Amino acid sequence: MTIIFIPMETAAVRALQAGGRDSYGHTPERCLSNGHGIPCRHCLDFVPEGESYLVLAHRPFEGVHPYTETGPVFLCARPCEAGGGKRLPAFLDSPSYILRGYDAGERILYGTGAVTPTDEIVKRSEDLLAREDVAFVHIRSASNNCFHCRVERGPDATL
């Protein structure tokens, strides 16, 4: 099965970079990167040292219900190109992450969540997305539970 890593939507990111409001209605905070551990959820790479970045509340769901978590994420302050695709994003360099499957109604599928070593993310994502009840997977920080990116079936995937 082909899987693809999906960044935050470009239109939403551009609005935030232009001073738009986050999921809590606040203007994103602007900070300066020290070059260590500031993963942009749009380009799916680290914000380089000396570059500005935004800190904001993000809800990576369409609907609003008890399972639609909102949490902090980082974005490059200047426009960046969308990352993602078939390869594991470079910014996933911690030892492990939480992977969790969701159904088409954006509800957590209990039993799918697991702390997963980084070198097993692709295989675990493929296994979860091989299930008919799993519509997408989130990759989240194993230490802070922050959203990193979404994983979906590739365009050539069949169930």
Cα Rg of the chain, angstroms:
15
pLDDT bracket for residue 157 (50, 70, 90): low
DSSP state of 88: P
What's the CA gap between 131 and 133, in Å, rounded?
5
Whether 72 and 35 have beta carbons less than 8 Å apart is answered as no
Q: Give whole-number Cα distances, 117 to 48, 92, 141, 157, in Å.
A: 25, 10, 11, 24
pLDDT bracket for residue 158 (50, 70, 90): low
- pLDDT of residue 59 exceeding 80: yes
pLDDT bracket for residue 98 (50, 70, 90): very high
Mean pLDDT of 41-53: 98
Mean pLDDT of 12-36: 97
- pLDDT of residue 5 exceeding 90: yes
Phi, then psi, of 153 in degrees rounded to 5: -65, 140
pLDDT of residue 1: 87
pLDDT tens, residue by residue, 101-117 = 999 999 999 999 999 99
Mean pLDDT of 28-35: 97
pLDDT of residue 155: 86
- pLDDT of residue 92 exceeding 90: yes
